[in-house]
Amino acid sequence: MHYTTLPERGDSLLTLTEFARFIGILQTSINQRQRHGDLKMVTIKVAINGFGTIGKRVADAIDAQEDMKVSGVTKTGPSFGCELAIKKGFPLYCTFDDEDRIEQFSKQGYPCSGGISDLLAISDIVVDCSPGKSGAENLEKYQSAGIKYIFQGGEKHELTGLSYTSSANHMENINAKGTRVVSCNTTGLSRTLVPLFEHCGSLKVECTMIRRAADPGDSGKGPINAIKPVLKVPSHHGPDVMTVKPEIEINSLAVAVPTTLMHVHSIVADLPEGHGLTTESIIQMWANTPRVIIMNGAEDRIPTTAEVMEMARDIGRKWGDLHEIFIWEDGVKLVGDRLYYFQAIHQESDVIPENIDCIRALMGVEEDWRKSVAKTDNSISRYYSLLS
């Protein structure tokens, strides 16, 4: 490693021209050393491929951070979502490289900066927010562009061979080429089970995912008047926790119900003998866990997901998002060594801050997950003027 030092001119001050030249040399030196990997990048340039439910939220969360910026977002074609990208000042790109598809944007009055390859060429990392199962095709594009990549929970663990949640395995993801932020349900399970596991050293879990039928912005999904069991047993949600914390033994069932607001998990966890915990100390543990909110359904008059999402709207994040996992205090009970509890998941947003921490892990800029979580959450709070 070599260092660029200020040129010496005895005791006299540098002229402005000399100073400007020195700054130029310094900048070139920084650029060269960044390219050779000697220096950490100052601002991480992040591409968002797929500007839908998750993509637009990840873009906002990136925009809130000081150490990263949105290099551009993609849309498959002109639609109302382009308006948001332009309003936010995010450069708009086409999901594909075909000239005729790119031209469609300007025909509808949306300035388009090019195709996906142009966006990948100016970015350090891409967050793939395409609909689930488009991963394999997109992965080829990222690999040929030589760029780091993050997929979402709609893709299988096998696509990347590595998965991520902030509290479970941040270190394992440091400097990785690519990974997958697990689904909203798996993120929720991981948030509350990992601290329990860290305390107990082992954990056996059975849980049922009571899933929202569709996101509020979806018109094509259901059921609208039925309860639909997921007839693949166990469901993928529980076992997916083991992609980030293999030591937790967990299985799950799932049913879809006619609501759009949140998922609810009904969880039974068997703690090992001698765990030393009580119902109260478990509640306290979660109260001290980042991105977990615990309230009393009866006393706080917050008995259902409807009131939970009303409380989320009061918090004031955009779209009424709730990044935290919600636990009903009066729904937690330890009976012998068996723990029962319910938690609620805002499916559209609990994975958003995890994506930000994940970017830092892959870029190798923050090894301490707690520091990254604090940085991410404080920046988002400042961005939406939520800090008192």
Instruction: Indicate which residues carry an active-site annotation.
Output: 184
Q: To the nearest whole angstrom, how small is the minimum distance from the Cβ of residue 152 to ligand NAD?
A: 3
Q: To the nearest whole angstrom, how small is the minimum distance from the Cβ of residue 215 to ligand NAD?
A: 5
Q: Which is nearer to ligand NAD, 191 or 275 (by Cβ)?
A: 191
Q: To the nearest whole angstrom, how small is the minimum distance from the Cβ of residue 187 to ligand NAD?
A: 8
Sign of CA dihedral 33, 37, 39, 45: positive
Could you write out the three-class secondary structure of 234-245?
Answer: CCCHHHHHCCCC
Q: What is the helix (H) or strand (E) element at residue 181, kind and residue range?
A: strand 178-181
Pick the closest to residue 186 from 163, 170, 158, 214 (CA basis). 163
**3-state SS class at 33:** helix
Q: To the nearest whole angstrom, how small is the minimum distance from the Cβ of residue 315 to ligand NAD?
A: 19
Q: Which is nearer to ligand NAD, 53 or 235 (by Cβ)?
A: 53
Cα 387 to Cα 353: distance, rounded to the nearest angstrom: 17
CA angle 93, 99, 105 (to 5 degrees): 50
Q: Which is nearer to ligand NAD, 24 or 223 (by Cβ)?
A: 223
Q: To the nearest whole angstrom, how small is the minimum distance from the Cβ of residue 76 to ligand NAD?
A: 4
Residue number closest to ligand NAD, CB atom = 52
Length of the chain as a residue count? 388
Q: Which is nearer to ligand NAD, 74 or 379 (by Cβ)?
A: 74
Q: Which is nearer to ligand NAD, 157 or 275 (by Cβ)?
A: 157
Strand order in the sheet with 44-49: 92-94, 68-75, 44-49, 125-128, 148-151, 178-181, 163-164
Residue 365 · residue 41 · CB < 8 Å: yes
Pairing assessment for the beta strands 333-335 and 338-345 based on DSSP bridges:
antiparallel
Binding site for ligand NAD (CB under 6 A): 49-55, 74, 76, 95, 129-132, 134, 138, 152-155, 183-184, 215, 347-348, 351
Work out the number of other CB atoms within 10 angstroms of the CB of residue 218.
12
